[in-house]
Amino acid sequence: MTPITAVMLFGAGLSAGFIDSIAGGGGLISLPTLLWAGLPPHLALGTNKMQSTWGTLLAVRRYAQAGLVQWSQVRLAVVVTFGFAMLGTYAVTQVSNEWLRKVVPWLLLGIAAYALLSPRFGQQSVRARLSPTVFACLGGCILGFYDGFFGPGTGSFWTMACLTLLGLELTRATAYTKVVNLTSNVASLLVFIFAERIRYDIAAVMIAGQLIGARLGSGLVIRHGAPLIRVVFLMVVFALVSKLLWDQWTSGS
């Protein structure tokens, strides 16, 4: 690893940690950077999980200290998500995820359109459509497995689910999302560690950037709340949709 490569990896970790702590989607930066650095896909995926886990952990810690995490509400979701994320990570090594690659951009586009057309998107709590127990079981099963199996847009799906089904306002929905994202990251990471799919030297450089970026981003969320999250959320979702659709187009041409 050359000094220039190390600087690029550190910067990618910092940027990804900043974006991830606000609205998710940091993998748009970190994973392509790891591939650029010459890692084969399986090592890039495992190393990306390692470095992103630490940034998410710091963000969760700061949200918890600010009183934005209701542990009694999220505890069951953590347990269910952990198990199904491990299952999803194992499954992705056995089967193709091509169908998901085609469907997910359009689901994300629908989420972005809803958020864009709702000026007061997530600014206040609304009536919950599911009990916390049912929500935790459904979300943990579906989104936990999905994050382990494929991953792009998981944070956006969790945030939207928290807003529309659990009735949370956007700041608390983001905190809930970070907790379950951390859970699925750790679960997937354990599988990658067992399979020896991590470059620890590269992960260490990116973790240093992740911790700084996550601290900065989570601090902005705590201070500015829903208006900031809404802007970054929309930017991340549209960027993710564009990337996934571009990948489909280029792979098919």
Q: Where are the domains of the chain?
A: 3-252
Question: Position 216: which residue type?
Answer: L
How many angstroms from the chain centroid is the CA of residue 37? Answer: 22
User: Residue 7 — pLDDT band, cuts 50, 70, 90?
Assistant: very high
CA R_g for the chain: 17
Higher pLDDT, 102 or 36: 36
CA distance 49 to 92: 15
How many Å apart are CA 214 and CA 173, to the nearest integer?
A: 17
DSSP at 150: T
Distance CA 21, CA 178 (A): 7
pTM of the model: 0.81
Residue with tokens 């606000």, as numbered in its chain: 22
Query: Collapsing DSSP states into helix, strand and coil, what is residue 33?
Result: helix
Between 226 and 97, name the one with better pLDDT.
226
Which band of pLDDT confidence, cut at 50, 70 and 90, is reported for residue 234?
Answer: confident
User: Per-residue pLDDT tens for 122-162?
Assistant: 555 567 889 999 999 999 999 999 888 877 678 888 988 99
CA angle (156, 25, 137) in 5-degree steps: 40
